Chain A
Amino acid sequence: QVQLQESGPGLVKPSQTLSLICTVSGGSISSGNYYWSWIRQPAGKGLEWVGRIYTEGSTRYNPSLNSRVTISRDTSNNQFSLTVSSVTAADTAMYYCARGRGASNYDFWGQGVLVTVSS
């Protein structure tokens, strides 16, 4: 059974960089047809796809984040990470990591980590 666990600071100051890590167990992030992804959800609102890193290392991001996003991976620790630069209050959200199965669905999700942007 694949499990994902997000970790990182719960509070980030405006204009700084948000950094989160997703640790994956029960499966390798460097094998199979999977898209290791980040999705976020402001309180009381809907889901927003942030971006993903494919098994072989290629990345795609949501243009709405204006090139502030980077997703990378650490295959030795079976982790992938998210950084969002120049954060504002609009980046306050629950951040989920998830596994995209092919181009078909997201079948495993982490429990989420709440990130608040505030001074």
Chain B
Amino acid sequence: DIQLTQSPSFLSASVGDRVTITCRASQGISTNLAWYQQEPGKAPKLLIYATSTLQSGVPSRFSGSGSGTEFTLTISSLQPEDFATYYCQQLDSYPITFGQGTRLEIK
């Protein structure tokens, strides 16, 4: 199985901050990576797919980059509604796997 390791696992930041979350894959996955946001008690919401394509309706302050084994999700200016948990997901090979999550909290 392809392991995805997110860093950090926990992040404390303020409204307006720029934050970056990293996702490292145990082997190359080309650009077959997606990012999700999950608020407490809700289903995950797709933010970015194919490493850098913004899902329709997602604010442009979210962006993704990377290839191979290292990927990043960047939020350019944190808004109050962005405080949630973020997961990366690889769809390059079965079984599909997720990172362990990054919990983003208000400082």
Contacts and interface: CB of A to CB of B under 8 A. Distances in A.
Interface of A: 46-49, 60-64, 96, 98, 100-101, 103-107, 109-112
B93 to A, nearest CB: 10
Given A47-B87, A104-B50, A96 B34 contact: no
Given A96-B43, A107-B46, 19 more contacts: A46-B87, A46-B99, A47-B44, A47-B89, A61-B95, A62-B95, A63-B95, A64-B1, A100-B91, A101-B49, A103-B32, A103-B91, A104-B49, A104-B91, A105-B46, A105-B89, A109-B43, A109-B45, A111-B43
A49 B95 contact: yes
Interface in B79-98: 87, 89, 91, 94-98
The 7 lowest CB-CB distance pairs between A and B, nearest first, are: A105-B49, A109-B43, A49-B96, A105-B34, A47-B98, A62-B95, A46-B100
B3 interface: no
A108 B42 CA distance: 13
Contacts of B42: 111
Contacts of B32: 103-104
Q: From DSSP, what is the main secondary structure of chain B's interface residues? A: loop
Interface in B38-93: 42-46, 49-50, 55, 87, 89, 91
